[in-house]
């Protein structure tokens, strides 16, 4: 019986110590959330599908972003997940509140197959926003189609 009381007391002590830790973590998480700045960049679209594109034919798409904040800022960086994707933007442009800016993203389509590439925008010092391009590159024939011999039969 004594063992049962001791075991119960140990379980109760362990439970109350764990509850105090959880409460402390919740308080810490709330203070961190209060210091994170509000998100002020809105993308018109977060994903673009090029569909099927021929190999060796580069493609581009323009993404539109809007500053939904109360202060103007520049885009600090726009970084693609690999070298086959190239984002271009006006690095000196100050995006005013409620104004829009454009990011042109190019894909070189050199490798055959499906692709999905992420592009990350860094703005306002430490905030980030990610969007994606995707599609499928199909291999173009090495030579043109052979002459159709039956075409002369149709003309007669």
Tens digits of residue pLDDT in 12-56? 555 555 545 444 444 444 444 444 457 789 999 999 999 999 999
pLDDT band of 141, cuts 50, 70, 90: confident
Give a yes or no: residue 153 inside a domain: no
Strand, helix or coil at 146? coil
Same domain, 54 and 26: no
Give a yes or no: residue 65 inside a domain: yes
Same domain, 129 and 56: yes
Provide the domain limits for residue 14: 1-36
- Total domains present in the chain: 2
Same domain, 45 and 32: no
Q: What is the CATH number of the domain that holds 55?
A: 2.60.40.10
Strand, helix or coil at 54? strand
Closest by CA to 63, choosing from 77, 36, 43, is 43
Same domain, 51 and 125: yes
DSSP state of 155: H
Residue 7 has pLDDT above 80, yes or no: no
Tokens matching residue 55: 């190999």
d(CA 108, CA 86): 8
Give residue 27's pLDDT: 47
Residue labelled with tokens 């810490």? 28
More confident residue, 19 or 62: 62
Q: What is the mean pLDDT of residues 100-119?
A: 95
Give residue 15's pLDDT: 53
Tokens matching residue 79: 């970084």
| DSSP run (H or E) holding 11 | helix 2-35
């Amino acid at each position: 019986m004594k063992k049962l009381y001791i075991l119960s007391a140990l379980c109760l002590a362990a439970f109350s110590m764990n509850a105090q830790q959880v409460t402390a973590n919740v308080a810490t998480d709330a203070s961190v959330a209060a210091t994170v700045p509000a998100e002020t960049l809105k993308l018109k679209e977060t994903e673009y599908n090029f569909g099927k594109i021929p190999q060796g034919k580069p493609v581009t798409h323009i993404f539109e972003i809007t500053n939904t904040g109360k202060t103007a800022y520049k885009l600090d960086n726009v970084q693609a997940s690999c070298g086959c994707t190239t984002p271009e933007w006006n690095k000196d442009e100050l995006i005013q509140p409620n104004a829009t800016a454009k990011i042109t993203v190019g894909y070189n389509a050199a490798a055959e197959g499906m692709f999905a590439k992420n592009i990350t925008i860094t703005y306002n010092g430490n905030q980030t926003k990610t969007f994606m391009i995707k599609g499928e590159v199909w291999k173009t024939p090495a030579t043109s189609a052979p002459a159709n011999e039956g075409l002369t039969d149709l003309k007669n």
